[in-house]
Amino acid sequence: MGKRIAVKIQQDKAIIRHLLRKAAKLGLITAIVPDRYYHNLQIQQFAAIIRHYNHLEVAITVANFRDELAIGRKLAVQILEFFDRSGFTRRKFNAHILRDQGLFE
């Protein structure tokens, strides 16, 4: 992500990556994996989708999440694994089950 931003605004990618890491440390954005960041409001929107599926179907799968956001499978897995690591969800087989509904509100 840092590279794409750097190219778009014609800046050095090392400087942009440093800036993004700094913003994440300050809590302005969230790193779901190294070098992939989302604004905190977007993280809350992702969490709302997960909550919605958990109320309807008990759990969300990678395929559900991918289709809901119209993104690739790899990115859907990265986001759902971020939520698993944070304690918001837990993975059970192919499903991600809501664990702590109060996070990311």
What would the pLDDT profile of 14-66 be if each residue is shown by its tens digit? 888 888 999 999 999 999 998 899 999 999 999 999 999 998 888 999 999 99
CB 50 within 8 A of CB 60: yes
* Beta bridge partners of residue 38, listed in sequence order: 30
Expressed as residue numbers, the domain containing 34 is 2-38
Stretch among 36-45, 62-71, 93-102 having the lowest mean pLDDT = 93-102
User: Which pair of tokens denotes residue 8?
Assistant: 């778009």
Residue 103 in any domain: the answer is no
Same domain for 29 and 48, yes or no, is no
Round to whole Å and give the CA distance between 89 and 28: 22
What's this model's pTM, rounded to 2 decimal places?
A: 0.87
- Tell whether 34 and 44 lie within a shared domain: no
The answer to whether residues 47 and 31 belong to one domain is no
Instruction: Determine the Cα–Cα distance for residues 43 and 45; give it in Å rounded to an integer.
Output: 5
Total domains present in the chain: 2
* Structure letter (DSSP) for residue 71: -
| pLDDT at residue 65, rounded to an integer | 96
Distance CA 74, CA 26 (A): 27
